[in-house]
Amino acid sequence: MLAYLIRRSLLAILTMWAVSVLSFVVIQLPPGDYITSYIAQMSSSGSGVSAEEAESLRRQYGLDQPMTVQYLRWMTMVLRGNFGMALEYGRPVSDVIGDRLWLTMVVSVAAIILTWLLALPIGIYSAVRQYSIGDYVATFVGFIGLAIPSFMLALILMYLGFTLLNVNIGGLFSEGFGEAPWSLAKAWDLTKHLPLPALILGLAGTAQLIRIMRANLLDELGKPYVVTARARGLSETRVILKYPVRVALNPFASTIGYLFPYVVSGSIIVSLVLSLPTVGPLLLKALIAQDMFLAGTIVLLLGVMTVIGTFVSDLLLIWIDPRIKYEGR
Amino acid sequence: MDRPAHQVRGQVAEGAQALGLPTTETEERISVATQWQLMWWRFRKHRVAMASTVVVLLFYLVVIFADFLAYSNPLASEAQRSLLPPQRIHWFDNGRFAPHVYALSGRRDPVTFKRVYTPDPEKKIPVRFFTPGFEYHLFGLIPANWHLIGIEGATPEETLFLLGTDEQGRDLWSRLMYGTQTSLTIGLVGVTISLILGVLLGGISGLYGGVTDTIIQRVVEILRSIPTIPLWMGLAAALPNDWDIMRVYFAITIIISLIGWTELARVVRGRFLSLREEDFVMAAELAGCSQMRIIFTHLVPSFLSHIIAATTLAIPAMIISETSLSFLGLGLRPPAISWGVLLQQAQSIQALAISPWLLIPSIPVTIVILAFNFMGDGLRDAADPYGQ
């Protein structure tokens, strides 16, 4: 157990390091550097920057140093909570991101929870009533869910919402709540808006889980212990829910490691379509404006949050189900 | 294989029954069939997978003959016919087979400033098949100008709009043909790169084991636990603006394959690890085969089918990746045409409300992804013909 914990933490740290290197690559890739963009910014607003000034700025930011030194400087900056300036906004990056990072995570976690809530009963139903109409419907919807990329699903639902119900289904808050300070009313408003984006994001994952759950449970249902339980007169619900379902639940635990990054990833693009106030639209804007500090920070923070999220859920699952193999997936 | 003989015979009989043939005759047929024949028989039984294969093949026919199937130059734009709704072909004229379309006259609504088009049933424009149209190079080599459909006595760019037009007045049908070409080939090229990486690293990992295996497995785990889209966006946004279509195309393909190889590597490693323990490998070793011979004449043929299945299942993911990136405006950029580029125009609710037909490209996307998934499922089931 302890060995597993240590191994798992080491892997998480290693992953975070990899994320930081990749984010740094994202920042460094475009031609020019922070100062080039800064100069362009200044001269477009009318005030020029002389060559000497630029040189001293470069020295001040350490841009004349080799890459590894620059990476280390950036990392120390980040670890102190200083993410640099967002050029386009003229404000610190952490200011610009604000609530958006948390909202991204809220949407993603909601999608995962919804995935489970849907996949569990539907998967059980599909297995217990194999080849019934309900099973076919679930399988069909599942395949559609797998085949339609989430952003396209968002587009189609948005179009249907607009033409059939004449409502705009985008956004996470009602009018007036977006800019308001956090309150109970605002949180409730958020909760009311969550299910739809969560469903769109979670559908592909739900489809997959239903299929796995169905297959696993079908395997279990034929085993002698189920027959024994039934023979001893246990009620049908008890026979199914008490034993085989528990065994078949394993995929719920083992897939979260892949599901969470996948959902966070999807949330970026779905947020753009549904105009959700997450980091998605901000990242796209930053990338198009070549505001690389903002973009790199978002990639970094998203990566780190995902790694932490996966780590925490892994620990939770061990606590819930001690049979999970410690050797990893 | 280490399975008892009676079990195998039982399976053969079962397979024969499933094929609906007299048992003794088939038993003989099955026992002399090659591995690939067995796979084909098993795959054939999977009807959905067979139908999906046909669908996939049809789509690749579109890829090959995109120029022929398009009737308008996909880049010919004209503000005078922007956002035309899809047009109906009337197949019969007074009970006689004479396909035609109505001429359209467009004007701007003085209140909404939206362009409105009214068909004129009096002016019938006959639609012809196999007509000359804009020039293209078949397979990029042979100059040609034949198209499946066209218009007699007028240019199709001005008269024929089967799926409507986009904001710049470009014909959506023709653009969809070219988009299919781009999106489906990017899937293939991407999967090829992933395959090379996956087989190489997965093979090394499974073959050598030990520290090498651990390192490669950690890299795979790390790559899989990072949200990919933000990373792709970051890398794609760094491509210089002045690159031409081809360079962007290959750069995007490489970016999406950088993550795609992990799943393939996992499959290859898994197969290597399980096959290494098999008796026939041991037998080959004892018979004094060289390492290379064991790999290429014993191991590779036995897991080739699994790799083909895994590869098929990886293609839709590639297509989705390209479509997503281009949809965001970070993948292929106009004038390149792909499904994502086409869908980009349907991004806002305003555009959808005014011109819902811009969503049409989402239909082939869904069909192709579904077809690839079913086909891959069928292949995976058939990949191990000696199994249950």
Tell me, yes or no, whether B7 lies in a domain: no
Q: B248 and B323 share a domain?
A: yes
pLDDT of the residue at A323: 61
CB contact under 8 A, B233 and A268: yes
Distances (CA, A) of A250 to B221, B268, B270: 19, 24, 20
All residues of chain A having their beta carbon less than 8 Å from the beta carbon of residue B316 are 147
Query: pLDDT band for position B22 (50/70/90)?
Result: low
Query: Where a domain ends, among B134, B169, B204?
Result: B169
Query: pLDDT band for position B55 (50/70/90)?
Result: very high
Contact yes or no for B114/B100 (Cβ under 8 A): no
Q: B200 and B340 share a domain?
A: yes
Residue A161: is its pLDDT beyond 60?
A: yes
pLDDT of the residue at B128: 78
CB contact under 8 A, B230 and A19: no
Q: For chain B, how big is the Rg over CA atoms in Å?
A: 26
Tell me, yes or no, whether B261 lies in a domain: yes
Q: B303 and B360 share a domain?
A: yes
Mean pLDDT of B290-313: 81
Residue B351 CA to chain centroid, in angstroms? 27
Residue B10: is its pLDDT beyond 60?
A: no
Choose the mutation target among A287, A300, A306, A314 for the interface with B, i.e. most B CBs under 10 Å.
A287
CB contact under 8 A, A158 and B352: yes
Residues above pLDDT 90, as percent of chain A: 1
* pLDDT tens, residue by residue, B320-337: 888 888 888 888 888 888
Residue A223: is its pLDDT beyond 60?
A: yes
Amino acid at A33: D
Query: pLDDT band for position B7 (50/70/90)?
Result: very low
Cβ neighbours around B20 below 10 Å, total: 8
B149, β-bridge pairs:
B129
Residue B11: is its pLDDT beyond 60?
A: no
Sorted by sequence, the CB contacts under 8 Å of residue A227 that are 6+ apart come out as none
Environment class of A251 (CB within 10 Å of its CB; exposed 0-12, middle 13-18, buried 19+): middle
Residues above pLDDT 70, as percent of chain B: 90
Which ipTM did the prediction report? 0.78
Q: B157 and B242 share a domain?
A: no
Q: Given its phi and psi angles, is residue A128 left (phi above 0), alpha (psi -120 to 50 degrees) or beta?
A: alpha
* pLDDT tens, residue by residue, B250-273: 888 888 887 778 888 888 888 888
Contact yes or no for A154/A267 (Cβ under 8 A): no
Tell me, yes or no, whether B196 lies in a domain: yes
Pick from A178-182, A210-214, B96-100: least confident: A178-182
pLDDT of the residue at A320: 66
Alpha helices by DSSP H, listed for B160-299, are: 172-208, 210-224, 228-237, 245-276, 279-286, 291-293
CB contact under 8 A, B237 and A258: no
Which pairs from B285-289 meet CB under 8 Å and 24+ separation? Answer: none
CA distance B286 to B186: 45
CA distance A121 to A252: 13
pLDDT of the residue at A47: 66
Sign of the torsion formed by the C-alpha atoms of B261, B267, B270 and B275: negative
The closest of A261, A246, A236 to A311, measured between CA atoms, is: A261
Residue B26: is its pLDDT beyond 80?
A: no
Task: Using CA atoms of A223, B382, B313, B306 in order, give the dihedral in degrees to the nearest 10.
Answer: 100
Distances (CA, A) of B74 to B71, B161, B168, B170, B209: 9, 12, 11, 6, 52
Mean pLDDT of B158-166: 78
Contact yes or no for B87/B104 (Cβ under 8 A): yes
CB contact under 8 A, B221 and A11: yes
Sign of the torsion formed by the C-alpha atoms of B252, B254, B260 and B262: negative
The closest of A116, A320, A108, A318 to A213, measured between CA atoms, is: A116
Instruction: Tell me whether strands A85-86 and B96-108 are parallel, antiparallel or unpaired.
Output: unpaired
pLDDT of the residue at A285: 85
CA distance B190 to B197: 11
CA distance A234 to A249: 21
Tell me, yes or no, whether B62 lies in a domain: no
Query: pLDDT band for position A204 (50/70/90)?
Result: confident
CA distance A280 to A263: 12
Residue B256 has which token pair? 């999406």
pLDDT of the residue at A328: 43
Contact yes or no for A104/A281 (Cβ under 8 A): no
Tell me, yes or no, whether B360 lies in a domain: yes
Q: B224 and B334 share a domain?
A: yes
CB contact under 8 A, B233 and A146: no
Buried b vs exposed e over B194-219: b needs ≥16 C-beta within 10 Å? bbebbbebbbbbbbeeeeebeebbeb
Query: pLDDT band for position B57 (50/70/90)?
Result: very high
Residue A326: is its pLDDT beyond 70?
A: no
| Mean residue pLDDT across chain A | 80
CA distance B290 to B284: 9
The closest of A213, A271, A275 to A244, measured between CA atoms, is: A213
CA distance A254 to A329: 7
Mean pLDDT of B86-96: 78
- Which member of A155, A265, A290 has the closest CB to residue B230? A265
More confident residue, A233 or B27: A233
Residue B221 CA to chain centroid, in angstroms? 27
Q: B161 and B268 share a domain?
A: no
Mean pLDDT of A223-227: 88
Q: Report the CATH number that the domain containing residue B291 is assigned in CATH.
A: 1.10.3720.10
What are residue B124's phi and psi, to 5 degrees?
-95, 130
Tell me, yes or no, whether B86 lies in a domain: yes
The answer to whether the bond into B356 is cis (omega within 30° of 0) is: no
Tell me, yes or no, whether B60 lies in a domain: no
- Which member of A147, A152, A299 has the closest CB to residue B231? A299
Choose the mutation target among B241, B323, B328 for the interface with A, i.e. most A CBs under 10 Å.
B328
Residue B4: is its pLDDT beyond 50?
A: no
Domain range for B262? 176-382
Distances (CA, A) of B57 to B53, B61, B220, B307: 6, 6, 32, 20
Element at B138 (helix H, strand E): strand B115-138
Buried b vs exposed e over B83-99: b needs ≥16 C-beta within 10 Å? bbbebeeeeeeeeeeeb
Query: Where a domain ends, among B121, B153, B169?
Result: B169
Q: B197 and B115 share a domain?
A: no
Contact yes or no for B100/B110 (Cβ under 8 A): no
All residues of chain A having their beta carbon less than 8 Å from the beta carbon of residue B323 are 149
All residues of chain A having their beta carbon less than 8 Å from the beta carbon of residue B342 are none
Q: B326 and B187 share a domain?
A: yes
- Which member of B225, B229, B373 has the closest CB to residue A268? B229
What are residue B32's phi and psi, to 5 degrees?
-100, -5
Q: B257 and B366 share a domain?
A: yes
CB contact under 8 A, B352 and A31: no
| Mean residue pLDDT across chain B | 79
pLDDT of the residue at B54: 92
Chains A–B, number of C-beta pairs less than 8 Å apart = 137
Q: Chain B: residue nearest A267 by CA?
A: B229
B125, β-bridge pairs:
B101
pLDDT of the residue at A44: 67
All residues of chain B having their beta carbon less than 8 Å from the beta carbon of residue A11 are 218, 221-222
Query: Where a domain ends, among B148, B169, B190?
Result: B169
Residue A6: is its pLDDT beyond 70?
A: yes
Q: B130 and B185 share a domain?
A: no
Tell me, yes or no, whether B36 lies in a domain: no
Residue B388: is its pLDDT beyond 70?
A: no
Mean pLDDT of A117-124: 89
Distances (CA, A) of A27 to A55, B300, B332: 20, 42, 21
Angle at B74 between CA B73 and CA B76, to 5 degrees: 65
pLDDT of the residue at A286: 84
Residue B47: is its pLDDT beyond 70?
A: yes
Residue A285 has which token pair? 């804007």
Q: B295 and B213 share a domain?
A: yes
Sorted by sequence, the CB contacts under 8 Å of residue A22 that are 6+ apart come out as A299, A303, B226, B231
* pLDDT tens, residue by residue, A228-280: 988 998 888 888 888 888 777 776 766 777 788 888 888 888 888 888 888 88
pLDDT of the residue at B350: 75
pLDDT of the residue at A325: 52
- Which member of B231, B329, B370 has the closest CB to residue A143? B370
Q: For chain B, how many structural domains are there in total?
A: 2
Q: B161 and B199 share a domain?
A: no
